[in-house]
């Protein structure tokens, strides 16, 4: 079967999967995979450990390998997302089985990665389908209540930003935690060659934010339209806390690595460093498209405006004229350039007049 045929088959399988997911939620059917996950967890962990060892890799834990959380409360393992193998490395670092959310059904279909995903309850979400996103969230909530642990990536895509420590995060993570009275264990991961560094420290209990504003439960204010603004305010604050926590954990890894190994000189990186970096990442996941990475991120309106302005500025730079030159130089230089251009135009006009006579 060639790739095109496989993708067509995967599309049909995804459609069938989405219909089944909807039916499970609408008809309150039994969730699949929980028993299988508990049976497979020690086996897959052993397999992952053997794979890591045989490839000469190592995993270092910067703070806590296992975070102690309140007994009886669901746990969301909210992780940063930087590269394809981070899923397996983070999964190996956990001490209990968990359900999982993934967005690339088509490229996982009938692959080793897809087989591994199916050893645990995996909720595949279609990021381009608003209805399916809603049902995927409902599945996440059900798995949290019935299985007690869920692993996911709040950024949704690989963070390929050249300057953001963490991308903006979707609100589903904090809403699910508030709705199920769960806690969030944040995990950051970085890779330096064959060294993987994982950083997790404590847990987030978003009930602390809820209690600042109301003595009602999150489900109470969610079911009453009178509390719509309050709900948005609470969720918004929690989203910022989650993003900042992921960014802090990531920065701590960078800081620790720099202390142990020194800082890299930008001059030594080479002009093609970034292109090589992106090509190496995408080669790990055949079929991965950078356009999906951009489209599936949280669409921040302010940043969209900034990108639009940046594009307009680049367009101006590529089409410099006396009318826009003042935007890119100081006033004195602009006046001098304007004078020279006017002198040149006057001379050209004089030549035209002479020819006409």
Residue extents of the structural domains in the chain: 3-287, 307-356
Give me the half-sphere count of Cα atoms (radius 13 Å) on the Cβ side of residue 70.
Answer: 12
Biggest CA–CA distance in the chain, Å, is 98
Among 16-25, 173-182, 274-283, the range scoring the smallest mean pLDDT is 274-283
Degrees to nearest 5, angle at CA 109 with 118 and 27: 60
Q: Which two tokens stand for residue 251?
A: 């920065």
Q: Which two tokens stand for residue 52?
A: 């890591």
Partners of residue 257 on adjacent β-strands: none
Q: What is the pLDDT of residue 304?
A: 52
User: pLDDT tens digit string along 139-151?
Assistant: 999 999 999 999 9
Only one residue has tokens 């995993």, namely 59
User: What sections of the chain are H helices per DSSP?
Assistant: 3-26, 34-54, 86-93, 105-108, 112-117, 130-146, 172-180, 207-213, 218-222, 228-261, 273-283, 290-295, 301-318, 331-356
Q: How confident is the model at residue 66 (pLDDT cuts 50, 70, 90)?
A: very high
Specify whether the CB–CB gap between 123 and 143 falls below 8 A. yes
User: pLDDT tens digit string along 282-325?
Assistant: 787 777 777 766 777 776 666 555 555 555 556 655 666 666 66
Q: How confident is the model at residue 263 (pLDDT cuts 50, 70, 90)?
A: confident
Q: What is the pLDDT of residue 39?
A: 92
The full 3-state SS of 10-72, as one line of letters, equals HHHHHHHHHHHHHHHHHCCCCCCCHHHHHHHHHHHHHHHHHHHHHCCCEEEECCCCCCCCCCC
Q: What is the CA radius of gyration of the chain?
A: 26
pTM of full prediction above 0.85: no
Specify whether the CB–CB gap between 73 and 183 falls below 8 A. yes
Query: Using CA atoms, how far apart are residues 282 and 271, in angstroms rounded to an integer?
Result: 19
Q: Which two tokens stand for residue 150?
A: 């869920």
Q: Is 144 helix (H, G, I), strand (E, B) or coil?
A: helix
User: pLDDT tens digit string along 162-217?
Assistant: 778 988 899 999 999 999 999 999 999 999 989 999 999 999 999 999 999 999 99
CATH class of 3-287: alpha beta
């Amino acid at each position: 079967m060639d790739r095109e045929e496989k993708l067509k088959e995967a599309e049909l399988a995804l459609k069938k999967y989405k219909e089944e997911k909807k039916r499970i939620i609408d008809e309150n059917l039994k969730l699949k995979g929980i028993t299988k996950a508990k049976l497979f967890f020690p086996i897959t962990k052993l397999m992952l450990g053997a794979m890591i060892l045989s490839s000469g890799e190592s995993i270092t834990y910067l703070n806590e390998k296992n975070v102690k959380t309140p007994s009886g409360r669901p746990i969301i393992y909210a992780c940063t997302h930087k590269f394809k193998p981070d899923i397996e490395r983070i999964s190996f670092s956990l001490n209990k089985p968990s359900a999982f959310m993934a967005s690339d059904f088509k490229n996982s279909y009938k692959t080793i990665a897809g087989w591994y995903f199916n050893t645990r309850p995996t909720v595949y979400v279609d990021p381009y389908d608003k209805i399916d996103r809603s049902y995927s969230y409902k599945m996440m909530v059900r798995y949290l209540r019935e299985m007690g642990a869920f692993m996911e990536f709040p950024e949704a895509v690989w963070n390929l930003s050249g300057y953001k420590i963490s991308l903006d995060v979707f609100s589903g993570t904090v809403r699910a935690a508030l709705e199920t009275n769960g806690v969030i264990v944040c995990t950051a991961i970085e890779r330096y060659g064959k060294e993987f560094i994982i950083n997790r420290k404590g847990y987030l209990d978003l009930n602390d934010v809820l209690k600042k504003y109301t003595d009602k439960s999150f489900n109470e204010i969610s079911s009453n339209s009178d509390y719509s603004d309050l709900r948005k305010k609470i969720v918004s604050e929690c989203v910022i806390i989650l993003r900042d926590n992921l960014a802090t954990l990531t920065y701590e890894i960078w800081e620790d690595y720099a202390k142990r190994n020194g800082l890299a000189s930008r001059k030594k990186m080479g002009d093609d460093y970034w292109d090589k970096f992106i090509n190496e990442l995408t080669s790990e996941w055949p079929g991965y498209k950078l356009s999906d990475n951009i489209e599936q991120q949280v669409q921040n309106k302010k940043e969209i405006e900034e990108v639009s302005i940046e594009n307009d500025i680049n367009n101006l730079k590529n089409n410099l004229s006396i009318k826009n030159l003042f935007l890119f130089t100081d006033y004195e230089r602009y006046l001098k350039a304007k004078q020279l251009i006017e002198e040149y135009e006057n001379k050209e006009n004089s030549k035209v007049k002479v020819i006409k006579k």
